[in-house]
Amino acid sequence: MSVLQIKDLKVEFPGRKSTFVAVEGVNLKVEAGKILGVVGESGAGKSTVGNAVIGLLAEPGRIAEGEIYLHGQRIDSLPDKQKRRLRGRKIGMIFQDPLTSLDPLQTVESQLVETIRTHLALSRDEARARAIELIDAVGIPDAPERIKQYPHQFSGGMRQRVVIALALCAEPELVIADEPTTALDVSIQAQILELMKKLCAERNVAMLVITHDMGVIADITDHVAVMYHGKLVEYGETAQVLGHPQHPYTKSLISAVPRPDIRIERFPVVDYIEKAGAPIRQIDIATHWLGKARAYDKAEGPLLKISELGMRFQVAGSIIRSRRRYFDAVKKVSFDIAEGETFGLVGESGSGKSTIARLITGLYHPTGGSIRFAGQELTELSNRKQILAMRRQMQMIFQDPFSSLNARMRVRSIIAEPIKFHRLASSGAQVRQIVDDLLDHVGLGAAAGEKFPHEFSGGQRQRISIARALATRPRFLICDEPTSALDVSIQAQILNLLKDLQQELGLTMLFISHDLAVIRQMCNRIGVMRHGELCEVAECDALFETPEHPYTRELLSLMPSLELLSTENLETA
């Protein structure tokens, strides 16, 4: 008998004027000791299925049709009080963001002990002993001491381990993991995935993993269900579905996944996902891109040359100098970027990648070293006119497009602002023409200028960010994790767009990411960062095929294996 069985599930959200059907006709089952992956893009209905199983559908959501069984007992029709008893005791939940799912005002010990005693008839001392055992089981060292700490005293990966311990503390029969590794670096993700596989095998727990990450699906699942617009479009063994997909959407989804093992020219156009909208006017952006406003002198040697760059932050102040404590975020880093090249910086969170980007753009002032851009030493600039002239030549695309766009301004005003500030147009009509052309060029259309940022999807907002970055006609573009928050198909569209823009406009790019597969597809050369130091710089293919530094080899070994994925429709470089 299956641990979990879902029959003809339909979930709907009634509104004032209409009813939105989030999930329809879904049939799934999970066996003991097995892992079922549910994959799809944002809005596919994955999390809705998980919430329906655990009885946490947000109001006014409801199960309109279908049945859900746990070990043969129907649970969707149970009273709320009985559903609450199931949560934690029979069904555990691992959420995406461990920091928001833990109480910051309670120690890990008090949260675990409270949960254990809620579901199991144990004394406080017995519950504490079990909590320590669980913390040790999920791989947190020195469990008796660490359990006394608060969530903020743990790293992201360690917090996720605490959440897993919470999900397992009452010995559930089923664990639902909703995007359990999306916010984690590759090394921490590998540890968490290995831990989840081990716990399933040792404790015979059934697991439902909800994700849009094909690497996670390929690494740990036994079966996979593919969802699209609330419906189940393909279901089967993982190797079969990923290696020989049958449904057009599954084929499209797999073709859009960045590959760490092969380099492709560009991602295939995913017609099944990219539904044709309003026709976009094809324009030649070079008409006002390559004119007088972008008449830069060609750089002698590298466009950007960084030498012995250092950045130190003070973490504890004191009147007495000897008592001050410092943290070296960047330690004597040196590299250069040739004009027209895409240079990648890869490494875990806290390795110093984004700090380097902020140093280049002048948001931070370095504590040591040199930054030369187009032959000019940036650390010595003091004249405001010179600083603005340099900043106009370099622009940054941030990780989260929503927080980097002014929510109170229309898109047209957001893109026009840098054009007006740097006086790159002679009239309001010319500003409007440039903005319209930029919106057309990034695939949104001029009509998008009249809307506000909240009226767009995540991928569309990132296109707005790219249009704004291009508005000053820069020669150097810094992309700081520009696609990490996007679904795989939207990510593919943005990466294709950046590749096209580089070729058409002669851009030089610094591409920052912790995703090695994305870095391989985008970069000519790659630098590997760790603890503020540059471990290795190499040509892209050489770094992936014959890495020299032990840390680089470790990072590459921890990447999710995508060998199962079909290579149909891929045009290799």
Q: What is the mean pLDDT of residues 402-421?
A: 90
Tens digit of pLDDT for each residue in 268-302? 765 565 554 444 455 555 555 555 445 566 767 89
Compute how many other C-beta atoms are within 10 angstroms of the C-beta atom of residue 7: 16
- CB within 8 Å of 386: residues ≥ 6 apart: 376
Q: What is the pLDDT of residue 454?
A: 85
Q: What is the mean pLDDT of the chain?
A: 86
| Residue 494 binned pLDDT confidence (cut-offs 50, 70, 90) | confident
pLDDT at 271: 59
Look at residue 24 in the predicted model and tell me its pLDDT. Answer: 95
- The per-residue pLDDT for range 5-31, each reduced to its tens digit, is 999 999 999 988 889 899 999 999 999
Amino acid 245: pLDDT = 92
Share above pLDDT 70 across residues of the chain, in percent, rounded to a whole number: 91
Can you read off the two tokens belonging to residue 501? Answer: 């823009």
- The CATH number assigned to the domain with range 4-255 reads 3.40.50.300
pLDDT score, position 292: 46
Examine the pLDDT at 113 and tell me if it is beyond 90. yes
pLDDT category of residue 176 using cuts at 50, 70 and 90? very high
For 235, the 3-state DSSP assignment is strand
3-state DSSP of 172-185: CCEEEEECCCCCCC
Is-same-fold flag (4-255; 296-409+474-558)?
A: yes
Confidence (pLDDT) at 573: 55
| DSSP 8-state assignment for residue 283 | -
Residue 362 has pLDDT above 70, yes or no: yes
Is the model's pTM score more than 0.85? Answer: no
Rg (CA), the chain: 26
Taking only the tens place, the pLDDT of each residue in 71-84 is 999 999 999 888 88
Ranges assigned E (strand) in 354-431 = 368-373, 376-377, 394-397
Whether residue 336 is predicted with pLDDT greater than 50 in this model: the reply is: yes
How large is the average pLDDT for residues 32-44?
89
Q: Which of 68-82, 120-134, 309-323, 354-368 has the lowest mean pLDDT?
A: 309-323
Q: What is the mean pLDDT of residues 88-97?
A: 84
Q: What is the pLDDT of residue 515?
A: 83
User: What is the average pLDDT across 175-197?
Assistant: 81
Least confident of 386-400, 418-432, 538-552: 386-400
- How does residue 230 score in pLDDT terms, banded at 50, 70 and 90? very high
Mean pLDDT of 333-343: 94
What is the average per-residue pLDDT within 296-319?
82
Q: What is the pLDDT of residues 417-431, one digit of tens each?
A: 999 998 888 899 999
Contact 491, 213 (CB under 8 A): no
Give pLDDT, residue 278: 43
E strands, 31-108, are 35-39, 62-70, 73-74, 91-94
pLDDT at position 293: 47
Per this entry, what is the length of the chain?
573
**pLDDT value of residue 269:** 61
Has residue 492 got a pLDDT over 60? yes
Report the range of poorest mean pLDDT among 312-321, 323-332, 476-485.
Answer: 312-321
Question: What is the pLDDT at residue 559?
Answer: 80
pLDDT band at 252 (very low <50, low <70, confident <90, very high): confident
Closest of 507, 523, 510, 532 to residue 260, by C-alpha: 523
Domain 296-409+474-558 indexed as CATH 3.40.50.300 = yes
Structure tokens at 34: 């097995």
- Provide mean pLDDT across the span 537-547: 93
Which string of b and e fits 454-470 if b means at least 16 CB within 10 Å? eebebbbbbbbbbbbbb
pLDDT at 283: 54
The residue ranges of every structural domain in the chain are 4-255, 296-409+474-558
